[in-house]
Amino acid sequence: SKLRESGRPRFPTALPSTPTTKLRPAPSTIDVYIDMSRRARSAPKVNVSPSVRLGLESIIEGNETAIRAMLSLGSDKVVVEGLIDCMGVNSLSAEMLIANYFSASMLGAYCRERIGKSDKGGAATLAERIAREWAKPSFAPLPAPADSKKRKEPQPPVEDAAAKRAAALAEVAAKRAKQAAQKQASSPTAPAAEPKEKEVVGQREKEEEG
């Protein structure tokens, strides 16, 4: 009856102590790790050719510790399977995988010692050179140097992983754009030669008049 004394319903002036809606807390590091693990388990398995798998196995030789650290692989995970899983989770080709995750020094040593190619260039250039060899069905790596297991494995430099991947992607994109431009420029263009011929004829006519 007190609520109706003024002819209008009265509402409580104080808000309830317990909120009606709860804010979702930000995900913790453990939650993010669990989410990444779920993605890895649910990612489609990448089917790599035998030559690419052989290439991955050969680049692991002498670099296993560094690769495990780069991909945060446990000791119970087969490294080559970890690399293939990484390709599936991130939708990467073998070329993009090694360009994004491997240092230029590691790729350069592999080019020089295992495929007999030049070790010059950045990570993207070296990755392209390696992937071209791996794509050949007859690919067979050179034997690993005798001291490869005794020497200290090269450790990846401490740097921003995201910046490294972005730089590698940009270098690969620029290289492909340059190759496309060179291919277009090398295509035959007959009309372009016509002005030069007219210039030569005009020069001869002037000489004859003179």
DSSP codes joined into one string, 116-173: -----S-HHHHHHHHHHHHTSTT--PPPPPTTTTTSPPPPPP---HHHHHHHHHHHHH
Six-digit token string for 62: 């002498």
Cα separations in angstroms, 142 against 31, 75, 80, 99: 43, 27, 19, 21
Residue 89: pLDDT band (50, 70, 90) is very high
Which tops the pLDDT comparison, 147 or 35? 147
Would you say residue 164 has pLDDT above 80?
no
Answer whether 105's CB lies under 8 Å from 154's CB. yes
| Residue 175 CB neighbour total at 10 angstroms | 15
Reported residue count of the chain is 210
93 Rama class: left (phi>0) / alpha (psi -120 to 50) / beta: beta
Would you say residue 53 has pLDDT above 60?
yes
176, 179, 185, 188: CA torsion to nearest 10: -110
Backbone angles phi, psi at 101, to 5 degrees: -110, -15
Six-digit token string for 121: 């260039």
Query: According to the model, what pLDDT value does residue 158 have?
Result: 46
Mean pLDDT of 177-186: 80
